Chains A and B, each alone.
Chain A
Amino acid sequence: MSNRTLSGQAAIVGIGATEFSKNSGRSEMQLAVECVTQALADAGIDPSEVDGISTFTMDNNPEIEVFREIGGKELKMFSRIHYGGGAACGTVQQAAMAVATGVCEVVVVYRAMNERSEYRFGAGMQDTAAEPDFETAHYGWYIPHGLVTPASWVAMNAQRYLHETGATSEDFGRVAVAAREFAATNPNAWFYEQPITLEDHQNSRWIAEPLRLLDCCQESDGGVALVITSAERAKKLNKEPALIKGAAQGACDDPQMMTHFYRQDITRLTEVGLVAKQLYKQAGLTPDDIQSAIIYDHFTPFVLTQLEEFGFADKGKAKDFVRNGEIKMGGRLPINMHGGQLGEAYIHGMNGIAEAVRQIRGEAVNQVDKVENMIVSAGTGVPTSGLILGKG
């Protein structure tokens, strides 16, 4: 029992991405195969070697078609992870487990979407057909009252968070300002050279009060892929590997899809706490061992909550952490150096994992000094997942 561990068995050895835009001008499938082959080239692994694939249930590109187009030969594992952006690090966990157990040798994970030009998750569920399936019925508790968007669901938790912690809209704003500051110096970011001030944030319009426009991430077109193989093989490949020291999923405490309104304390993200607990245990690390993090930022309020759940701030105290500039370069825990989903692009968290790999390699545009270990989180407000990546 004691020697069963996922930690250190596999590594991310290749990253690939398309450009990030508002209109890719091509199909989601094309984005998928572009980023997948780019990630394999980055790793120096021939596409014909891919024998495992994992992606999101929300991805529209079937694993077998991606596999067919890249010239795959034998696919031995294919899986889909549910719950929107909560899947991001879960796909890497699937890959690591498949590699660690010897089921697969080379696993590719990807997320490719025309989320701005073709789908727009942010537009709302107001036109949902009243079907009897569970998830549609679930949203039936909210949409007849006008609570139809992801922003509106997060706002419900955020309002209570402000009430209980004394945090303010400006504290949410500090998260956005920090992200846009990093994006401003990342040429791949949609908001390259477009920083914002706290005043800009405070002047941005209400979307779902207490969320302002600049508390909400972008809607983006683009694709990101990662290649995972064994730690052993990783040593012989092109790039410095990002060792998977921890990989976890979590759902607990009356879990709901975006609407955890019924648990006793709705200001917490207990599933993130569950992920954090597993990650630290798997990796044998504590928050003190983590130099930097990718904290999923679809909406700013949950960045504060995640900092608390990962143990970087006490409950209700993340506001002080961001007020002190601890999430910026030179702070205790610089986060989202690519600009996050607020600043770079919203690729359901996969672009954040790629950034963590660049940080571990030391090749990021906004490079943090002396990075040994990084936390990466996934979509929140939903069953979620996380990683600890580090130097081998």
Chain B
Amino acid sequence: MTDQNNNKELEALMAETLGVRVGPHKSWDPVNQPMIRHWAQAMGDQNPMYTDPEYAANSSEGSTIAPPTMLQAWTMRGVTGQHAPGTRERTAEQPYVLDILDEYGFVGVVAVNCDQEYFRTLKPGDDISHYMEIESISEKKDTALGTGYFVTELWTFVDQNEEKVGEMRFRLLKFIPPKSDNKPQSSGSSKPKKAVRPRPGINRDNRFFWEGLKEGKLLIQRCKSCETLRHPPSPMCPSCRSLERDAVEASGNGVIHSFVNLHHPALPAFDEPNPIALVELEEGTRLVAGLVGIEPEDVKIGMAVKAEITQCDEELTLALFRPVEA
């Protein structure tokens, strides 16, 4: 069977699903104040029409209303996935177009857009159901994600009197994911190629430090006048105010003075938790650096560490620190 025949067969099967109305999908609960309050709180929506009975009593509505955008929430199945009592489920004679597309290899799915239209406000006590039909299916399209079909679902919401209260059009793209050699590993522990680390701002005062790292050296600025070491670098020596300065190479030996295991935000360039230490070098200055070769839960203040100059990417070389075996 050629691809073209395959497409024709698929498109014929899909066409049969158009306009077939499935439902009703009933609500577990009528429109009610507690769910409205949870929604309003979660959304940060403080409109008193939703939650303040006194305020709403004096409005043209006469009582509290549900946020219109909650429309879809009322008939949701909930976390167990069970249908609410009274729901008429899809039968074998009503195949779902998305299942058909799966069978033909269009297994990728992405929601494209969702439009809702409201015909009247909903109030506590209203009992909402919805019906769903496939309103349209596009021609086959080549998209950045892959080749696929755009499918538009039309959801019609009705009240206890079967009067239409709202509509929703939900559009999806079902597509064939492009073949890739870089499939994520099933073990899941190691991430795919990492993003680069945030860059430091380099200027005339600190350039020597960053260039030193590229040459494999961890440098500490030294006052040429009083020979005091200092980090972070600065043009003037806070001890003697001299502007004359050079740098010495650190041995790389140090001790963890403090540390943080960073969990949030998750940054693409790092694992979480990410152990980061404030290292006190044996020369006396301190610097902040990531730790390697140790599990975050094992990091301790006072631990001996040694610098490991590491080229993190093409542009960035850092001094990371590794615990020294006792």
A127 & B231 in contact (Cβ 8 Å cutoff): no
Instruction: Verify B200–A141 contact, CB threshold 8 A.
Output: yes
Q: Are B200 and A207 in contact (CB under 8 A)?
A: no
Residue of chain B at shortest CB distance from A211: B260
Contacts of B206 in A (CB 8 A): 137, 140
How far, in Å, is B166 (CB) from chain A's closest CB?
A: 24
Most buried by B among A128, A136, A140, A163: A140
Chain B count of residues within 8 A CB distance of the other chain:
43
Interface residue A392 (Cβ < 8 Å from any Cβ of B): no
Asked if A148 and B260 sit within 8 Å, CB to CB, the answer is: no
Choice from A140, A206, A259 contacting B264 with Cβ under 8 Å: A206
Q: Is the CB of A163 within 8 A of B258?
A: yes
Whether the pair B301, A160 counts as a contact (CB closer than 8 A) is: yes
Task: Choose from A123, A138, A156 the contact partner of B278 (Cβ within 8 Å).
Answer: A156
Residue B269, interface by CB 8 Å: yes
Q: Mark A153-165, 1 if CB is under 8 A from B, else 0.
A: 0011101100100
Chain A min CB distance to B324 (Å) = 19
Asked if A102 is an interface residue, CB under 8 A from chain B, the answer is no
Q: Are A140 and B201 in contact (CB under 8 A)?
A: yes
Q: Are A146 and B276 closer than 8 Å at their CB atoms?
A: yes
Query: In the assembled complex, how far is the CB of residue B68 from the closest CB belonging to chain A, in whole angstroms?
Result: 17
Given A137-B200, A137-B202, A155 contacting B318 (CB threshold 8 A): no
CA distance A63 to B248 in the complex (A): 48
Q: Which of A127, A133, A142 contacts B203 (CB 8 A)?
A: A133
A side interface size, CB within 8 A: 48
Q: How far is the CA of A151 from the CA of B286 in the complex (A)?
A: 20
A160's contact among B201, B258, B264, B296, by CB below 8 Å, is which?
B258
B253 interfacial contact with A, CB 8 Å: no
CB within 8 Å for A159 and B258 given contacts A148-B198, A152-B276: yes
Q: For the complex, is A205 an interface residue (Cβ under 8 Å from B)?
A: yes
Q: Is the CB of B270 within 8 A of A146?
A: yes
The residues of B that contact A130 with a CB separation of less than 8 Å are: 199-202
Establish whether residues B201 and A209, one from each chain, have CB atoms under 8 Å apart when the complex forms.
Answer: no
Give, as a whole number of angstroms, the nearest-CB distance from B169 to chain A. Answer: 27
1/0 per residue, CB under 8 A from A, across B261-299: the answer is: 111110101100110101000000111111000001000
- Asked whether A266 and B290 contact (CB < 8 A) given A126-B198, A160-B301, the answer is no
Residues of A within 8 A of B270 (CB): 146
Q: Is the CB of A123 within 8 A of B200?
A: no
In the bound complex, CA of A151 to CA of B312 (Å)? 25
Given the contacts A140-B202, A140-B206, A146 and B269 also touching, CB distance less than 8 Å = yes
Whether the Cβ atoms of A144 and B318 lie closer than 8 Å is yes
Residue of A nearest to B296 (CB): A209
Contact in complex: A159, B276 (CB < 8 Å): no
Q: Does chain A have a CB within 8 A of B34?
A: no
Q: Is the CB of A261 within 8 A of B200?
A: no
The answer to whether A126 and B267 touch across the interface, beta carbons within 8 angstroms, is yes
User: Which residues of chain B from 78 to 92 have any CB-CB distance to chain A below 8 Å in the complex?
Assistant: none
A23 interfacial by beta-carbon distance below 8 Å: yes
Quick check: is B259 within 8 A (CB to CB) of the other chain? Answer: yes
- The answer on a CB contact under 8 Å between A22 and B286 is no
B201 touching A136, Cβ below 8 Å: yes
A125 at the interface (CB under 8 A from B): yes
How long is the Cα–Cα vector from A47 to B291 in the complex, in angstroms?
56
Q: Which A residues are CB-close (under 8 A) to B259? A: 156, 159
Provide the main secondary structure of the chain A interface: loop
Contacts of A261 in B (CB 8 A): 257-258, 278, 286, 288
Q: Known interface pairs A22-B44, A126-B267, A142-B288. Does A152 touch B258 (Cβ–Cβ under 8 Å)?
A: no
Write out the residue numbers on chain A whose beta carbons fall within 8 Å of the beta carbon of B200: 130, 137, 139-141, 143-144
| Closest CB in chain B relative to A254 CB, distance in Å | 8
Q: Would B262 and A144 count as touching, CB distance under 8 A?
A: no
Chain A hits for B276, CB < 8 A: 145-147, 152, 156
* B-chain residues with CB within 8 Å of residue A199 when the two chains form the complex: none
Determine if B204 is an interface residue (Cβ-Cβ < 8 Å). Answer: yes
Q: Is B244 an interface residue (CB 8 A)?
A: no
Q: Is the beta-carbon distance between B318 and A152 smaller than 8 angstroms?
A: no
Question: Once the chains bind, are B197 and A132 in contact (CB under 8 Å)?
Answer: no
A159 to B198, CA, bound (A): 24
CB-CB under 8 A from A152, the residues of chain B are: 260, 262, 276
Bound Cα distance from A156 to B258, whole angstroms: 6
For B263, give its contact among A128, A205, A259 (CB under 8 Å): A205
Does B203 contact A146, Cβ atoms closer than 8 Å? no
CA separation between A205 and B261, bound complex, in Å? Answer: 12
**Could you tell me the distance between the alpha carbons of A383 and B259 in the complex, rounded to whole angstroms?**
23
User: A137, A146, A157: which contacts B267 (Cβ < 8 A)?
Assistant: A146
User: Are B301's CB and A139's CB within 8 A?
Assistant: no
Interface string of A194-233 (1 = CB under 8 A from B): 0000000000011111000000000000000000000000
Is B138 an interface position by the 8 A CB rule? Answer: no
For A23, the closest partner residue in chain B by CB is B44
If A149-B265, A206-B264, A262-B231 touch, does A144 touch B301 (CB 8 Å cutoff)?
no
Would you call B288 and A141 a contact (CB within 8 A)?
yes
* Interface hub of B203, B265, B285 (most chain A Cβ within 10 A): B265
* A160 to B142 Cα, complex, angstroms: 57
Q: Are A208 and B260 in contact (CB under 8 A)?
A: yes
Please tell me if A288 contacts chain B, counting CB pairs below 8 Å.
no
Q: Are B263 and A206 in contact (CB-based, < 8 A)?
A: yes
Decide: B258 and A266 in contact? CB cutoff 8 A. yes
Residues of B within 8 A of A132 (CB): 201-204
B316 CB-CB contact with A under 8 Å? yes
Question: What string of 1s and 0s marks CB contacts (under 8 Å) between B33-49 and chain A?
Answer: 00000000000101000
Residues in B neighbouring A138, C-beta threshold 8 A:
232
A266 partner residues in chain B, CB cutoff 8 A: 257-258, 278
Pairwise interchain contact B201-A159, C-beta atoms closer than 8 A: no
B29: CB under 8 A from chain A?
no
Interface residues of B in 177-233 (CB under 8 A from A): 197-206, 231-232
A145 touches B44 (CB 8 A): no
Instruction: State the CA gap A207–B263 with chains docked (Å).
Output: 5
CA distance A129 to B46 in the complex (A): 37
| Minimum C-beta distance from A256 to chain B (A) | 9
In the bound complex, residues from chain B placing their C-beta under 8 Å from that of A141 are 200, 232, 287-288
Sample 13 A-B pairs with CB under 8 A, ordered by A number. A21-B44, A126-B198, A128-B198, A130-B199, A130-B202, A133-B203, A137-B200, A146-B276, A149-B265, A151-B264, A206-B273, A207-B264, A209-B261
* A-B residue pairs, 5 tightest by C-beta: A140-B200, A136-B201, A132-B203, A130-B199, A209-B261
Known: A140-B201, A206-B261; 4 extra A-B contacts, CB below 8 A, are: A146-B270, A156-B258, A156-B288, A261-B257
